[in-house]
Chains A and B, each alone.
Chain A
Amino acid sequence: MDLSYYPGCTLKTKAKGLEAPAVAAMAALGVNLVEISRWNCCGAVYSLADDDLAHHLAPVRNLIRVHEQGADKVSTLCSFCYNTLKRANQLVQRDEVKRRTLNDFMEEEKDYQGEVAVVHLLEVLRDDIGWDNISAKVKVPLQGLRVAPYYGCTLLRPQEIAIDRVERPAILHQLMEAIGAEVVDFPFSTECCGSFQIISNPDSVTQRAWDILSSALKRGAEALVLTCPLCYFNLGQRQAELKQKYIDFTGMPVFYFSQLLALALALDSRVCHLELNYADPLPLLEDKRLLV
């Protein structure tokens, strides 16, 4: 099955560890991710101002590209891209006046009415492939790996774009169960990591990272699994500082879901770019004999 796919800027630079194993794992699961042939930055954050349409142009243009290429569905991997594309799409679908203005502005483009469906890859795994089928393909069940699913904000909020229940979502939990990991549920799994405040208020982000990591540690997690390159950065890169601040804290590996999926499918671990992870995951993976 071919599935069209929007990568976004971050995946092509900082988040290879998210993209490469995802593409490989999907191929192993029989889905060929077809990158849309021309795309631009989605704008990262969805504009929350009622009078600001300019910032919706970027995501909508991407959707027009998908439509042009004859697809009715586009998958995303980066949570921010998912959020921005999905919300812009909903705006076009639901607000007739704004839709008209946007279309009028983009004279050179064909009118877009929200024909394309925006999905996150996790939804594809759940709804199109199915947990049972994934389980059946697992070659190295992640037995004994106590991993805490962390969702962050942009896959779940606001309500109308949520890929699962807003409170106590399960989709990442289910994926981890399907690939044989021991799932550790923890109370901070949907709490914000501080997000883009890393630019202006990095200390607050450090505090958030500690709240989240320590909560997972307290419930016995050995690693965190997540979907978003920004969460990954905030929760990973801040650990150096946290280790100095809290002497008992020895670090906690943070994985992209795609990395664990690829490992469970026994794909070549080099595709996971584990060397890019902030807290070195190799000792943990070796200890659990999960590297083949």
Chain B
Amino acid sequence: MRIEISGQTFQSDFVKKVAEISGESVLSCNQCGKCSAGCPMAFAMDWLPNQIIRLVQLGIEEDIAKSKTPWICASCLTCSVRCPRGVDLGRLMEAVRLLTLRRNIDYVAAAKIPPDALGEMPQIALVGGFRKHTA
């Protein structure tokens, strides 16, 4: 695995948009990993939360686009309350998701969820889930 980086990669539009949508400063993160260490969903992720930030810092858009991590994130904000540097990673994850959703790409299709299950779930699950995972 080898990548080439330059000023352009980490000052790319993508990086700027993530910063803009999230309102967070990616550069504040010093990669201590505390966010990942406490993330309740990390077990199901392909990249750890701190690695997602690292990828944003380096401007490696392809890996982020392919990653499941932002879609596994449950917005529980455990990372945000424990980050020593005050980075709200939950917002960064949302920004990354929105960059996909805003291209009108859904992560989950309502049609694929069994109707029984849909009928049983509380409204907040449905509204919340579709808000987070559909365009």
Contact = CB atoms under 8 A, between A and B. Distances in A.
Contacts of B124: 8-10, 44, 78, 80-81, 196, 229-230
Given A158-B88, A198-B129, A230 B122 contact: yes
Contact of B120 (A153, A204, A237): A237
Contacts of B91: 48-50
Given A44-B131, A50-B20, A192-B41, A13 B72 contact: no
A81 B127 CA distance: 12
A194 interface: yes
Contacts of B71: 200-201
Contacts of B133: 196, 199-200
Nearest to B22: A50
B121 A233 contact: yes
Most-contacted residue by chain B among A47, A55, A192, A208 (CB, 10 A): A192
A157 B43 CA distance: 21
Interface size class of B (residues with CB under 8 A): 35 or more
Contact of A45 (B22, B44, B131): B131
A200 B129 contact: yes
A88 to B, nearest CB: 14
A60 to B, nearest CB: 16
A100 interface: no
Interface stretch (B8-16, B53-61, B77-85): B77-85
Contact of B74 (A9, A159, A196): A196
Contacts of B131: 43-45, 47, 55, 196
Nearest to B39: A192
Contacts of B78: 153, 157, 191-192
Given A45-B132, A158-B81, A233-B125, A192 B21 contact: no
Contacts of B123: 8-10, 13-14, 41, 44
Interface in A1-52: 8-10, 13-15, 41, 43-45, 47-52
Contacts of A211: 40
A153 B130 contact: no
Majority secondary structure of chain A interface residues (helix, strand, loop or mixed): loop
A153 B79 CA distance: 12
Contacts of A207: 43-44
B127 A51 contact: no
B126 A199 contact: yes
A44 B128 CA distance: 5
B25 interface: no
A195 B94 CA distance: 15
A207 B74 CA distance: 14
B76 A192 contact: yes
A284 interface: no
Contacts of A47: 94, 131
A183 B133 CA distance: 37
A200 B108 contact: yes
A266 B135 CA distance: 48
Interface in A202-257: 202, 204, 207-208, 211, 229-230, 232-233, 237
B78 to A, nearest CB: 6
A291 B21 CA distance: 52
B21 A49 contact: yes
A200 B107 contact: yes
Interface of B: 20-23, 40-41, 43-44, 71-72, 74-78, 80-81, 88, 90-91, 93-95, 98, 107-108, 113, 117, 120-133
Given A15-B122, A229-B122, 10 more contacts: A43-B127, A45-B128, A45-B131, A157-B76, A167-B81, A196-B133, A199-B129, A200-B133, A204-B41, A204-B44
7 contacts: A44-B124, A156-B81, A194-B41, A199-B130, A200-B71, A204-B41, A233-B121
